[in-house]
A and B are shown apart, each in its own frame.
Chain A
Amino acid sequence: MDYVAHDASDFARPAEVEEMELYHPKTFIGKYIWSQDAKVIAVQYAITAIGIGLVALVLSWLMRLQLAFPNSFSFIDPSNYLQFVTMHGMIMVIYLLTALFLGGFGNYLIPLMVGARDMVFPYVNMVSYWVYLTAVLLLVASFFVPGGPTGAGWTLYPPQAILQGTPGATWGIILMLVSLAFFIIGFTMGGLNYVVTVLQARTRGMTMMRLPLTVWGIFTATVLALLAFPALFVSAIMMMLDVTLGTSFFMPAIVSMGQQLDYTGGSPVLFQHLFWFFGHPEVYIVALPAFGIVSDLISVHARKNIFGYRMMVWAIVAIGGLSFIVWAHHMYVSGMNPYFGFFFATTTLIIAVPTALKVYNWVLTLWRGNIHLTVPMLFAIGFIFTFINGGLTGLFLGNVTVDVPLSDTMFVVAHFHMVMAIAPILVVFGAIYHWYPKITGRMLNDTLGKFHFWVTFVGSYAIYYPMHYLGFAGVPRRYYAIGGTNFIPESAQALNASITIAALIVGVVQVVFLYNLVWSYFKGKPSGSNPWSATTLEWQTADTPPKHGNFGETLPVVYRWAYDYSVPGAKEDFIPQNVPPRDVVLSSNKT
């Protein structure tokens, strides 16, 4: 196993990638507003996503306040409560996580990591952001229209989503659907860019299997999103027609508020199938980039090559494929054929296999690694814990007989927050701490970062761990108030109150993170170009932060995979991907 010196006769050949014509902005507006530079677009995506995510965070506080201290707040009535639930879910899943992972990290990291000057279609990339921003503004607008935003739940199930009596049934739902359509159009533009850039714009020597797992995760998630979002698009259009033109795609003959409505013959279950055909892959659209990023964080900060790289790639691809045939496990309670349920329970359990493989490989990468407990590493380890936790409850819920009684309880809320809210957001934080030095040229403050990590990590457990017990006790989800129910012990209320207090604390501590972001931008310790001694190409740029065009005069040429850490015989404990074998400095004790 000679990693270092293989014969290097003619390695000085330049990259043969066709140089792309970069646009050259001259004004401030061209550089930072209507920018076609993927790095600027990435930051635009990230700021917008985090901004709207903060709105959703506040909405979750309002929900929690009502649950912990019912009837104490005059500004929360049952309608508001449902609106908070709906908007919190929709914003967090789509407008924050999807946009941040793919639009934010995807835009920043793909061109840099594959060794490209920019995305292949920079103009389309720019439009993608502005369409996304429009979608966000439409969503925000729904807070200010008569009747407020929709309160149909983030799944927007008809018939209730568009019936009078549901909050926002007049304007809110329309704006929601239009906003989703915009989001999907914007995403498709971005997504085409990410896929084509990964497949067509890699630099010399950068084969697919030399890509860092971050790129594999984002790439596969983008493919999933491109194939899954059309389902949401179709259902949004069809529901829109039901609302505005009175068609009956999803609306059955129905009596509402004592009146027979004009609808007849639609199928609400059809909507559920379409929605979850999108909705389940969506879980992995959020999870796969997190898997990829966390693999790289662990490898870099444990100074060890990722364990089982090939298997990690296969697992990402396998999870992506399987994620399209598990959707109906969200619909066990819709009265489906038991054989159907059996099929989906089986596929759901099968998908746990590649997922578990990944977890083992992360742990085995840590095994006997030179672990640096930096802030990104803390978040990565926090992710492993949280993801295992949420994944295991997923195995319970994947079984029909267990899911049916638990489906409408807090247990499900605890499960999906653990697995697809806290786990990915921990990765988001870890990734920001990791790549912030490259984006700004300055380190984030370490002490504030550690404080942020511990409060967020422990706080999240304080929120969601007890919630499983509430679920077992039968506390229903989505309810404004539990009311007079005998089977729920009184102590459930105390637990609810403690969860809310934890949620408020965790929420407030995010201010420390935001403060750190701003403060470090001006006052942070200068980072140099490669503060973590990482191997991947984004750390090897001529300038930090990288200038327009990313790599200066010549594109880098890649000679090795992304994980040459602690290579036996080499002097440094890392060898960047663009170092040719003959330039590797050998350790002095090796002759």
Chain B
Amino acid sequence: MTMFHQLMAKPWVTAQGKVDDLYAGGASSALAKRLALRVFLAVVAVLFFLLVTAYGTRMAYEDWRPAPQVSLLWANTLVLILSSIALQWAQYSVRRGRMDAMRVGLLAAGAFTVVFLFGQFLAWRQLATMVYFDVMNPAVAFFYLITGVHGLHLVGGLVAWGRTVARVWGDFDVGKVRQSVELCTTYWHFLLLVWLVLFGLLFTGNNLDLLLKLCGIR
């Protein structure tokens, strides 16, 4: 039943009572975990949406000076895409019972993620040594803030990833591992999507005039 239909129900009517009695009760803990992750992703989405909105609003001011471009971010983006692909591969493998391939996929994803984070750190260093660097410049401050918040979310993901990796050696419950891998994959894809939006919007260039006009900010 869709949400809309549920909200239309009249629980006090006898006929509806018969329908409601058929409701079998809550689902498994696996579904609960998946739902919890989705709700959490909604919270994270709001967080980044607000950061992007704040950035866009600030851009519209007269005195906006764009941050210098850091070309390393292109490479980092590629690495993050690879980590998502690796996890997708792990998920594909675990669903088909190929445990070795799953382990490879998991480990590769972790490695790519660590490389990405290190790359982001290098980008921070690069920007800090540029002549244009000025912590007072909102564009620069936003750069550090947004990359930092995104990076922290990946670090959090790595904790869950680590718990999954610790579980896949020796005898293990395939169902649980499969679920952990699936949850990790969802989370990574989501953070990749967030990153692509952030990267496209904030760091690939500063000619967002059209977009700001469309949003009615400029």
Q: Which residues of A contact B (CB under 8 A)?
A: 1-3, 6, 11, 15-18, 20, 115-116, 120-121, 188, 192, 195-196, 199-210, 226-227, 230-231, 233-234, 237-238, 241, 245-249, 262-267, 270, 273-274, 277, 305, 309-310, 313-314, 317, 555, 558-561, 563
Cross-chain contact B12 with A6 (CB below 8 angstroms): no
Interface residue from B20, B25, B39 paired with A192 (Cβ < 8 Å): B39
Q: Is the CB of B39 within 8 A of A207?
A: no
Give 12 A-B contacts (CB < 8 Å), ordered by A residue: A192-B39, A195-B39, A199-B35, A202-B25, A207-B23, A233-B47, A245-B135, A247-B145, A265-B61, A265-B63, A265-B138, A558-B20
Give 1 or 0 for each of B36-59: 1 = CB within 8 Å of chain A CB.
100110110011001100100110
CB distance from A587 to the nearest CB of B (A): 19
Contact of A207 among B12, B20, B29 (CB under 8 A): B20
CA distance A316 to B135 in the complex (A): 45
Between B14, B58, B137, the greatest number of chain A beta carbons within 10 A of the residue's beta carbon is seen for: B14
CB-CB < 8 A to A203: which residues of B? 25-26
Q: Does B213 contact A (CB under 8 A)?
A: no
CB-based contact A267/B61 at 8 Å: yes
8 Å CB contact of B43 from A3, A115, A121, A226 = A226
Of B3-11, B92-100, B168-176, B194-202, the one touching chain A: B3-11
Secondary structure class of chain B's binding surface, majority of residues: helix
> Measured between C-beta atoms, what is the minimum distance from A154 to chain B in Å?
20
Q: Please, how many angstroms separate the alpha-carbon atoms of A473 and B137 in the complex?
A: 45
When C-beta atoms are compared, the residue in chain B nearest to A6 turns out to be B14
Count of A-B contacts judged by CB separation below 8 Å: 152
Q: Check A305/B12 contact, CB under 8 A, given A16-B25, A317-B7.
A: yes
Query: Judging by beta carbons under 8 Å apart, are A309 and B11 in contact?
Result: yes
A119-B185 Cα distance, complex, nearest whole Å = 25
Q: Tell me if A's interface is mostly helix, strand, loop or mixed.
A: loop
Interface string of B9-25 (1 = CB under 8 A from A): 11110100110110111
Contact for B32 among A11, A196, A209, A310, CB less than 8 A: A196
Contact A200 B26 (CB under 8 A): yes
- 3 closest cross-chain pairs (CB), A and B: A561-B11, A204-B25, A247-B141
| Cα–Cα distance between A2 and B18 once the two chains are bound (Å) | 13
Does the CB pair A209–B11 fall under 8 Å? yes
Query: In the complex, which residue of chain A has the Cβ closest to the Cβ of B21?
Result: A205
Q: Does B136 interact with chain A (Cβ within 8 Å)?
A: yes
In Å, the complex CA distance between A263 and B149 comes to: 23
Q: Find residues 65-81 in chain B having any chain A CB closer than 8 Å to their own CB.
A: none
> Among B18, B57, B63, B149, which residue has its beta carbon within 8 angstroms of that of A6?
B18
- Do B136 and A234 touch across chains, with their CB atoms under 8 A apart? no
Tell me the smallest distance from the CB of B83 to a CB of chain A, in Å. 25
A247–B47 CB distance below 8 A: no
Which one of A16, A230, A246 contacts B24 once the chains associate, using CB atoms below 8 Å? A16
Query: Min CB distance, B144 to chain A, in Å?
Result: 8
B27 near A234 with CB under 8 A, answer no
Which B residues touch A237, using CB under 8 A?
A: 145, 149
In the bound complex, residues from chain B placing their C-beta under 8 Å from that of A233 are: 47
Tell yes or no: B129 within 8 A of A by CB. Answer: no
Contact status A209-B25, CB under 8 Å: no
* Whole-angstrom distance between the Cβ of B50 and the nearest chain A Cβ: 5
User: Which residues of the other chain, A, contact B207 by a CB distance below 8 angstroms?
Assistant: none
> What 9 additional pairs, Cβ within 8 angstroms, besides A16-B24, A314-B7?
A18-B28, A116-B26, A200-B31, A205-B21, A231-B46, A248-B137, A265-B61, A267-B58, A270-B58
CA distance A208 to B7 in the complex (A): 8
Beta-carbon contact of B10 and A559 below 8 Å: no
**Contact yes or no, B135 A227, CB < 8 A:** no
**Which of chain B's residues have a CB closer than 8 A to the CB of A116?**
26
Contacts of A188 in B (CB 8 A): 40, 43
Residue from B8, B12, B21, B138 within 8 A of A3 (CB atoms): B12
Known contacts being A265-B63, A274-B50, is A3 close to B14, with CB within 8 Å? yes
